[in-house]
Amino acid sequence: MPEMQMEMDATPFSTLTRREREVIDAVVCGLTNREVARQLGISEQTVKNNLSTVFEKLRIRNRLELALLAVHSQLGVRNRA
């Protein structure tokens, strides 16, 4: 098990903050920046800043790549039971 944890920690996702993961979750659900800001109680500019940081950390360029990566990696995908 420790080996598996080390592998997970070595991924770019391990560098994401809790807030960045919350923003990803909202984006994957299809929310706009304004809607994400309202849901999380932050400014729209903060959402934009968080997304820019996420894009840089994950080496992606846009929301579509983020959504595809998040769904593929099961990151930011809420349980819909």
| Domain harbouring 51, CATH code | 1.10.10.10
How many domains does the chain contain in total?
Answer: 1
Q: Where residue 76 falls among pLDDT bands split at 50, 70, 90?
A: low
- What is the residue-averaged pLDDT of the chain? 84
- Determine if the pTM surpasses 0.85: no
Is residue 79 domain-resident? no
pLDDT at 44: 98
**Residue 58 domain-assigned?**
yes
Encoded tokens for 11:
């991924």
Q: Is residue 46 helix, strand or coil?
A: helix
- What span, in angstroms and rounded, lies between the C-alpha atoms of 1 and 75? 20
Distance CA 59, CA 45 (A): 21
What's the confidence (pLDDT) of residue 74?
75
Query: Per residue in 52-72, pLDDT tens?
Result: 999 999 999 999 999 899 888
CB 12 within 8 A of CB 63: no
Domain around 14: 2-73
Domain membership of residue 45 (yes or no) is: yes
* pLDDT(3) > 50: no
